[in-house]
Amino acid sequence: MKILVINCGSSSLKYQLIDMTKEEVLAKGLAERIGIDGSRVEHKPSGKEEVVIEKPMKDHKVALEIVINALVNPEHGVVESMEEINAVGHRVVHGGEKFAESVIIDDEVMKAIEECADLAPLHNPPNMMGIQACKELMPNVPMVAVFDTAFHQTMPKSSYIYALPYELYEKYGIRKYGFHGTSHKYVSNRAAEILGKNIEDLNIITCHLGNGASLAAVKGGKSVDTSMGFTPLEGLAMGTRSGDIDPAIVPFLMEKEDMTLDEVNNLLNKKSGVLGISGVSSDFRDIEGAAENGNERAQLALDKFASRVKKYIGAYAALMGRVDAIVFTAGLGENSAEMREKICEGLEFMGIELNKDKNKVRGKEAIVNTESSKVKILVVPTNEELMIARDTKELVVK
């Protein structure tokens, strides 16, 4: 069975074609600058040379057509015809309270995804464009939607309700939803497998630390709390997002700096986080480099980032009553030994002991705690595409 995994942004379309018999990636790639000048597809077939296709793409449908042509091309293709693609799995950012798991896409589901667009105006509409394009180009191929929010739908109400007038939750659905769910689910399950334990018996804290970053408290395989909220802005300090701040800062800024709502929104989402503190970059590699060269604000940004992660680890340990494992994933979590060390430093009293030698690992699965550490510490590269393909297969084969 071959599954095409699609992840659409407003001007991009990421894809992977996965052969599910061996869970092997046959090809992957990215169409970018859709709808603007300079559209291109970077197509990477496994075992063959990478190609770049530069062609105007007015919308996601044209982009998908080019992707499908690349997949079946005699030279750089990986399948003989489109008929070999048995199903398509779509990443959908927001499933609101409607979707606690992945679903086969039908008209009703499409309508529900559209209804969730209010909650994720930047993400759900492009996700829908990908779904529409597939529906038009491959009308007989079953499609599945895998939601970023679904894994967190198991949170108890005490975790997801905000201390706001309750009617706002009822009227607008203002509550914590959480994101990166596919990643938190994948790495927590993978950690249990690596440890040879049943996930039902484990309390795990998963740390997805990339440009966007979030933690989840995963008790017995179920998310019971997560750091992102109503939107991805809550929680950790991120590449450019502020994460938790005193909400009173918003009206203060609007008054003192004469800012509009849009401007404040932009400041909190695009100009804050480690970029805002350091003034150097949103990329942790640049910030780590600057800090090594003595840049104090870069160092402060790293200190702030680590301290926020540490605080969430403490909070989630308290919430779950016990921690069996901490898992690091995503760009920074998988690759930065320095950041993992900084986060774990001083947590020995909680039974969290990092083995500095083992922690030198980058981008590979590894157990990096000491022999005596009560809490296991793991590095697990995330694989959201595989998780989407697995869910798709399960639903389509049923």
65 is in an annotated binding site: no
Q: What is the DSSP letter of 238?
A: -
211 assigned ligand-binding residue: yes
* Token output for 109: 């589901």
Q: In angstroms, what is the minimal distance from the CB of 214 to ligand ADP?
A: 10
**191-220 positions binding ligand ADP, by CB under 6 A:** 210-212
Cβ atoms of residues 248 and 255 within 8 Å: no
Residues 6+ apart with CB under 8 A from 309: 207, 209, 213, 215, 236, 343
148 is catalytic: yes
Minimum distance from CB of 7 to ligand ADP (Å)? Answer: 10
Would the annotation count 284 as a binding residue? Answer: yes
CB-nearer residue toward ligand ADP: 18 or 337: 337
Q: Which residues contact 323 (CB under 8 A, 6 or more apart)?
A: 203, 204, 205, 313, 316, 317, 350, 351, 352, 375
Which residues inside 239-258 make contact with ligand ADP, applying CB under 6 A?
239
Under the criterion CB under 6 A, does residue 360 sit at the interface with ligand ADP? no
CA angle 185/188/194 to nearest 5° reads 135
- Residue from 331, 343, 387, 390 binding ligand ADP (CB under 6 A): 331
Single out the residue of 153, 206, 231, 335 in contact with ligand ADP (rule: CB under 6 A).
Answer: 335
Applying CB under 6 A, the span of 13-21, 85-93, 320-328, 332-340 interacting with ligand ADP comes to 332-340
Residue 7 labelled as part of a binding site: yes
What CA–CA distance (Å, rounded) separates 20 from 85?
A: 11
Distance CA 130, CA 204 (A): 34
CA distances from 57 to 62, 75, 253, 379 (A): 5, 22, 40, 39
Catalytic residue among 148, 225, 324, 391: 148
Chain positions 279 to 318 lying near ligand ADP, rule: CB under 6 A, are 283-285, 288
Q: Is 294 annotated as a binding residue?
A: no
Positions annotated as catalytic residues are 148
Binding residues: 7, 14, 91, 208-212, 283-285, 331-335, 384
Residue ranges binding ligand ADP (CB under 6 A): 210-212, 239, 283-285, 288, 330-332, 335-336
